[in-house]
Amino acid sequence: MNQTLLVLQMEQSEIKSMAAAIKYCYKKIIFNQENRLTYTTYLGQILEEQTPKEFLNTFKQLRAFSYGQSDWNWFDINESILVGLSSNNSASFWSWLVCHPNGYVREFALKKLSAESFSNTLPFLLITLNDHVETIRKFAELEINKSVAQENEATILFSLPLIKRLKELEHKENLDVYNRLNTILLNQFDLLEKAQEIKDIYISRYGFELSFRLDEQHKVQVIKNGLKKTDRMILRWTFNEILKEEQWEKEYLSQMLSHPQMIIRKLACEWCYNNRVKEEQMIPKLLDQTAVIKYLALDYVKKQFPDIDCREYYLQHLKDNPINAIHGLAILQDKRDQDRMVPLINSSKKKIRVSVLNWLSCLPIEEQVPIYIECLSDSSRDVRNKAIDQLSTHYSLQIKEQLTLLFKERKETSFQLSIIKILGVESRKDYFFDLVLLYVDASDQLVKDKIEQQLVGWMLSWNRRFFFRFSLKDKVTLAYLMNKNYEEYSVGVLDVLWKVLREK
């Protein structure tokens, strides 16, 4: 959280957002005439501590008009009040008033900003270009050129996403400003390169977007910078730019096939798959850490290198790359690996255990189920979810009997919660009865709360009354269970049962 907001929240706990903090500062400066310099300093710090996206959200909150009660006298600020203020106020004071819902206040603040050579005003001029008052829009448009010429570098960088936004605004004359500002930026490669390195993704992206429009003199450096990023959009742009280079295969293909970012490796593998014959660099991709690349490489190798035994290739790399080699074997699902794969369900590595569960599909269902059930209490959520998915897929009355029996025998929270999820695939009425029966055998309050939540959700389902009716026999059974377990059922469960019994 921003430091200035924390300071103001310590002073006034009702402040919940940056917009509220700004309104509070103006109340202190204008209406209370209290510590004017301190609160004006806060207004400047708020802009410095925000990202462009946060700035836009704050602007929208400040501009929002309401006929309700004004918080911190924000709507009480008007032109006559501002005229009586000292003319020595800083840009920090006038800038945020550009976001005021009163058009006269916005216009007055803009004129004050233009009268002096203030810095940090460009973001406010850019958001004003979409003002619904034409006079204010035109005034901001005239001030843009002067502001860009005198603005500091940090503020220009901050403003890049706001410049990009101009292209999408309602008032089409902003397109001229957009093109004019981009022309200025395209002549400042050093500035764009700094933008590429900024952590804020929206600034960085626009820095690359503009830089890719530069001539060949700068293109190599931009590509080099792009390949260092982790953002998928920037990496995809970079890849597309590389494809435009004449000698790109010779210079970049090997680098991209082994790139640390998955999106670049995937794009390079897809290109090879569609454009290269017998590309030997695709063979090592059989051991790529990303499943989609592994599947692609496996299909490519089978087609282009039919003499290579992929299973044997994975077996050869079990020692030096066990996780990816076992995952490869899991994809192949060869029954010959049963003695090797099944014991690995006890591996200390989660990814290996998940791979074993994927491989199991090649065995008869009666051999799969006991392993899936055992994994319902695994320490890894991924392993548990995989086992839940498989048991849900193969759900049967026999599996249900096994699970309900084990629910009573094994008092493990994760195990019981997993069973509750699996039983959800059966008919709605059966699920309801099962939940009522299982409640008394819940291992702890967490499991009881989950069952109660499911029962309440079942009752509140909008289409329940259209498709599910409890017969007299059903109600007699539920009344018996309620009477038998009255002291063990929670108030919530009893309430659900009473509602069922009262239904006509």
CB contact set of 3 (below 8 Å; sequence gap of 6+): 45, 49
Rounded Cα distance between 123 and 48, Å, is 11
pLDDT of residue 466: 58
341-351 tens-digit pLDDT: 999 999 999 99
Tell me if 291 is assigned to some domain: yes
Residues 157 and 270 placed together within one structural domain of the fold: no
Instruction: Provide the domain count of the chain.
Output: 3
Helix (H, G, I), strand (E, B) or coil at 478: helix
Rounded Cα distance between 335 and 322, Å, is 19
pLDDT of residue 171: 78
pLDDT of residue 170: 76
Residues 335 and 268 placed together within one structural domain of the fold: no
CB contact set of 19 (below 8 Å; sequence gap of 6+): 58, 61, 62
Which amino acid belongs to residue 17? S
pLDDT of residue 465: 59
pTM of the model: 0.84
Write out residues in the chain with pLDDT < 50, as ranges: none
pLDDT of residue 460: 81
pLDDT of residue 493: 93
In sequence order, what DSSP letters do the residues of 182-213 get, joined into one string?
A: HHHHHT-HHHHHHHHH-SSHHHHHHHHHHHTT
Residues 283 and 326 placed together within one structural domain of the fold: no
pLDDT of residue 421: 95
pLDDT of residue 484: 93
Residues 124 and 256 placed together within one structural domain of the fold: no
Rounded Cα distance between 42 and 143, Å, is 25
Residue 69 belongs to domain spanning: 1-187
Tell me if 256 is assigned to some domain: yes
Query: Which of 165, 191, 192, 193 is CA-nearest to residue 177?
Result: 165
pLDDT of residue 504: 72
Look up residue 178 and give its two tokens: 């957009």
* Length of the chain counted residue by residue: 504
Burial class (CB in 10 A: 0-12, 13-18, 19+), 301: buried
Residues 284 and 318 placed together within one structural domain of the fold: no
Rounded Cα distance between 133 and 427, Å, is 60
Rounded Cα distance between 117 and 138, Å, is 19
